[in-house]
Amino acid sequence: MPADQPTIVATSIGFSSMDLGEWDWRLGPVYRYAADLAQAGPSPKVCILATALGDDPTWLTACYAAFGRAGFRVTHLALFPRPNTDDVRRLLLEQDLIWVAGGSVANLLALWRTHGLEPILRECWEKGVVLTGVSAGSVCWFTGGTTDSFGLPLRPVTDGLGFLPYSNSPHHDAEEQRRPAITRLLAEERLPECYATDNGAALTFFGTDLHEAVSDTDGAHAWHLVRSADGAVVERQLPTRRL
């Protein structure tokens, strides 16, 4: 059963270590939270999009293990060196969740558009497949944000998919340049109002409206940043529910 309305869970939440080795991960509660929003039942179907990481096979193998341990039915869409399915639309529409990895949002957007994913992902969103992801997999759903796709200093992203008509700042508390960069871009009116997440926090949108902010880490918060009439940027901490 799909979500009741178009739903996006935009996060700064990756995987947790099981302390068994570099690639041994477990899922935090935000993944089951997203599956519950999709009304997916005990064995949610998730498709991993690791375009931003070049479809790295080692990373994908670790993801399969982490999701599989948590009872998810896992598949992935690869675009390198060519799509791994003849029917991308069917694959994605069959899912409860589409989870997008972090990495290079600039490369992700370019490849998705080259392969015609933008209208397919919009259709998935409108039909109740929950869209979610971390870092680049968060920024992509918005109008734009900040990126280290080209190295440092951070640069603006202004050509996001725009399903959400805001900008996005992931890792807002954890990377030194994130907060000042997004603040400057808003002050210069290069990006619209922003929703930001600390590491460990997530934002849930129903349609284009913020539903709630959640976290799986004590002290992790979400934020709303707007440019006031005098050009100053005002940042407000959002109520953030601990999962």
- Please report, for the chain, the start and end positions of each structural domain, with discontinuous segments joined by +: 7-242
Q: What's the pLDDT at 120? A: 98
Q: pLDDT tens digits, residue range 18-54?
A: 766 678 899 999 999 999 999 999 999 999 999 999 9
Q: Are 128 and 6 spatial neighbours (Cβ–Cβ below 8 Å)?
A: yes
Looking at residue 128, its pLDDT comes to: 98
Nearby residues of 196 by Cβ (< 8 Å), 6 or more positions away: 168, 169, 170, 172, 178, 179, 182, 222, 223, 224, 225, 235
150-187 burial, b if ≥16 CB within 10 A, otherwise e? eeeebebbeebbbbbebbbbbbbbebeebbebbbebbe
Cα–Cα–Cα angle for 111, 113, 115, rounded to 5 degrees = 70
CA distance 51 to 79: 7
Q: pTM above 0.75?
A: yes
Instruction: Note whether 165 and 208 are within 8 A (CB).
Output: yes
Catalytic position from the list 135, 138, 149, 167: 135
Written as six digits, the tokens of 125 are 């969103």
* 191-233 tens-digit pLDDT: 999 999 999 999 999 999 999 999 999 999 999 999 999 999 9
Longest dimension (CA), the chain: 53
- The question of whether 135 is a catalytic residue gets the answer yes
Catalytic pick among 138, 149, 169, 171: 171
* pLDDT for residue 16: 78
Closest CA to 98 of 142, 46, 27: 46
**pLDDT (tens digit per residue) in 68-115:** 999 999 999 999 999 999 999 999 999 999 999 999 999 999 999 999
pLDDT of residue 22: 75
Record the tokens describing residue 86, joined without a space.
């003849």
Q: How many helices (H) and strands (E) would you count in the chain?
A: 7, 16
- The pLDDT value recorded for residue 18 is 72
Question: What is the radius of gyration, based on Cα positions, of the chain?
Answer: 17
Q: Is the peptide bond before 165 cis (omega within 30 degrees of 0)?
A: no
Q: Which fold has domain 7-242?
A: Rossmann fold (3.40.50)
Closest CA to 197 of 9, 64, 58, 42: 9
